[in-house]
Structure 1
Amino acid sequence: MPTLVLLRHGQSQWNLDNRFTGWVDVDITEAGRQEALKAGELMKAEGLRFDFAHTSVLKRAIRTLNTALEVMDQLWVPVEKTWRLNERHYGALQGLDKAETTAKHGEAQVKIWRRSYDVPPPAMDLKDPGHPANDLRYAKLDVKALPGTESLATTLDRVLPYWHDAIAPQLKAQQTVLVTAHGNSLRALYKYLTDVTEAQILEINIPTGIPLLFDLDDALKVKSFRYLGDPDAAKRAAEAVANQAKAGKH
């Protein structure tokens, strides 16, 4: 049957620093590397044999993917890197401390920016050096396609064409596919796959470094899904993500 695994990158330096990261190309920490190693061990123990893997063009996802595949002795698996799997663009919030932003703007407003379905944060100016239009890795893309901010809804709009064009055909061919990406690009896919409501997705948090396995039918409808390993550990990790803006830590 078609099998899909979603894996959020291991802890990044800005996860640790509790900053809005978005499209900033921040690397993983040593703790993040350990999470990636553990993810590989969990997938190996599950007996997964991947036919193809997809990731973003951000090093925290790429390094997590490579680390996990190395543990599985599957570095040979073909990998496609795409900007469409990048993290949600956090606009002018990128680089800011989450707890400090909460203290300044209030918990309710920051929760709207972080977790609302269709309300984006304030946009980043096109002339900002951090805008993707000024990044070489996106130089061949139409500048109009590059976001200065995104909501989860517009992140889903960005991710879905890649799902339909690249990932879904592989799954329909009965392949086993690994997608290693980011909290919000994966939340967007989660919403699409599970058909949860806009209200329900606000409370869904994807923990770092814990593989989420989907068993699909031939029409790619979800038959079942679960985190690999200890379910209580996955629940605690997801709760930690939800509490970032409050706690000032990850």
Structure 2
Amino acid sequence: MATTSFHQAIWTIPSCGSLNSSFGNQENGHASLKLISKGFRLDFAIQTYSSKKQSFCVMQASGSQTSVFNPILSPSNGTPSDSKKKSNEAALILIRHGESMWNEKNLFTGCVDVPLTKKGVDEAIEAGKRISNIPVDMIYTSSLIRAQMTAMLAMNEHRRKKVPIILHDENEQARAWSQIFSEDTKKQCIPVVAAWQLNERMYGELQGLNKQETAERYGKEQVHEWRRSYDVPPPNGESLEMCAERAVAYFRENIEPQLLLGKNVMIAAHGNSLRSIIMYLDKLTSQEVISLELSTGIPMLYIFKEGGFIRRGSPVAPTEASVYAYTKAHKRILSNRDAINLSLD
């Protein structure tokens, strides 16, 4: 998957004469340079400043490949620098998808790809209103349509009105065909990464069965054990423990590095994949997590700071708050009512 990066650095040097002789201005000036090699372009913008005491240069560099931008840091790309780790604070938003058509019918859904109901659409829109003031730089969803619909509908309510765009890296042609050629347009987009590791847990032979009828057939205790135990899977399905292994591993390897870089991240996923991630964030035991219930369409906010996660509960709706505080880069204005809502985890 192609990446785009931006870096700025300032060097103080005895003289910028060698640069000035190449690019023109002997005092204050600027120049640009492009390097292109094997589909990778590196753009430099160099600004020179001179005074009686010293000269220095400000260099800006940006690089891109032939694809939609993708600021994802994977293990193969390395890890963030220590300086970035120490200085950054970021928001993490978790949203369970709105009601699906099989939720409405009381069917076991699991990994069956079912869309939202009208109620589910309304829940996603309401979730969007609750997070409308929280900055979002990256979105992760499962590969299932109900989670993706929730993310898209929620972002339609965001005050910044940036467009969420799903990144496609299935093959070289998918990457090439999904390119964006306007830099201005790219700045108004939010990359969306769909990952099967964030899918709902696979319910095996229960998928498509009515929950009430299944309880009558196998007994309430047996069905309750399949649904709420930590390490007992349904027939030919996944236990919560198995779901947690893939969901948490993906979070640690792909999403947490973005938070370390100061990126504000939203995850739209499912009851069990999000329970797994919350278990990791809140350091819950296997006994504590099985009693954790997540409502559809209700966002949860965490602040990632100094390598740890601080739970902030569910953000209040715009009608209940003027400006919500999320990171150091944004003003913190909380009313007494906001403070009460924040404590209701």
**TM-score past 0.5 threshold:** yes
Match of 2:13 in 1: none
List runs of 5+ in structure 2 lacking aligned partners.
1-88, 164-188, 318-339
How big is the shift at 1:211?
0.5
Matched, 1:210 2:298: yes
- Could you tell me which residue of structure 2 aligns to residue 248 of structure 1? none
**What is the CA–CA distance in structure 2 between the aligned matches of 1:56 and 1:223, rounded to whole Å?**
24
Name which one, 1 or 2, has greater alpha-carbon Rg. 2
Q: How far off is 1:222 after superposition?
A: 2.1
1:128 aligns to what? none
Structure 1 residue 224 displacement after superposition: 2.6
Q: What does 1:39-54 correspond to in 2, within 5 Å?
A: 39-44=127-132, 47-54=133-140
Aligned position for 1:243: none
Once residues 311 and 148 of structure 2 are traced to their aligned partners in structure 1, the CA distance between those partners, rounded to angstroms, is 27
1:150 to 2:259 alignment: no
The partner residue of 1:2 within 90, 98, 102 is 90
Shift of the alpha carbon at 1:223? Answer: 2.2
Matched residue type, 1:115: R
- Distance between the aligned counterparts of 1:190 and 1:115, measured in 2? 16
SS at match of 1:114: helix
CA apart distance, 1:216 = 2.2
Partner of residue 312, structure 2? 225
Q: What CA distance in whole angstroms lies between the structure 2 residues aligned with 1:102 and 1:227? A: 33
Residue number in structure 1 paired with 2:206: 93
Deviation for aligned residue 1:74:
2.8
SS at match of 1:78: strand
Give me the CA root mean square deviation. Answer: 1.7
Question: Which residue of structure 2 lines up, in the alignment, with residue 132 of structure 1?
Answer: none
Q: Distance in 2 between matches of 1:194 and 1:166?
A: 19
Moved >6 Å (runs of 4+): none
Equivalent residue, structure 2, for 1:118:
231
Q: Distance in 1 between matches of 2:301 and 2:268?
A: 12
> 2:149 matched to which residue of 1?
63
Counterpart contact for 1:25–1:60, Cα < 8 Å:
yes
CA contact under 8 A between 1:40 and 1:69: conserved in structure 2? yes
**Is 2:130 the partner of 1:17?**
no
> Does residue 165 of the first structure (1) align with residue 253 of the second (2)?
yes
Question: How far apart, in 2, do the equivalents of 1:49 and 1:21 lie?
Answer: 32
Output aligned runs, 1:69-80, within 5 Å: 69-72=155-158, 73-75=161-163, 76-80=189-193
Using the aligned pairs only, state the percent identity.
40
Cα distance in 2 for partners of 1:198, 1:24 equals 26
Alpha-carbon distance in 2 for matches of 1:74, 1:189: 26
User: For 2:109 and 2:247, how far apart are their aligned partners in 1?
Assistant: 18
CA distance in 2 between counterparts of 1:161 and 1:196 reads: 16
Give the equivalent residue in structure 1 for 2:116. Answer: 28
For residues 14-57 of structure 1, the C-alpha deviation after alignment (integer angstroms, 9 at most, x for no partner) is 0000111000000000000000100111101xx21101000011
2:146 alignment partner AA: R
TM (normalized to structure 2)? 0.58
| Cα separation, 2, equivalents of 1:49 and 1:110 | 41
1:201 alignment partner in structure 2:
289
* TM-score under structure 1 length normalisation: 0.79
Which amino acid is the alignment partner of residue 163 of structure 1? F
- Could you tell me how far apart the structure 2 residues matched to 1:60 and 1:29 are? 9
SS of aligned partner of 1:216? strand
Shift of 1:107: 1.6
CA–CA separation in structure 1 for the residues paired with 2:278 and 2:311:
12
- The residue type paired with residue 188 of structure 1 is S
List alignment gaps of at least 5 residues for structure 1: 124-148, 239-250
| Cα offset, 1:12, TM superposition | 0.1
Aligned counterparts of 1:113 and 1:227: Cα–Cα separation in 2: 29
CA deviation after TM superposition for structure 1 residue 218, in Å: 2.1
CA distance in 1, matches of 2:310, 2:281: 10
Q: Which protein, 1 or 2, shows the higher relative CO under an 8 Å CA cutoff with sep ≥ 6?
A: 1
Following the alignment from structure 1 to structure 2, what is the Cα–Cα distance between the partners of residues 91 and 97?
14
Higher helix proportion: 1
Amino acid at match of 2:147: A
SS in structure 2 opposite 1:2? strand
How far apart are residue 215 of structure 1 and its match? 1.4
**In structure 1, how many angstroms separate the alpha carbons of the residues matched to 2:198 and 2:112?**
14
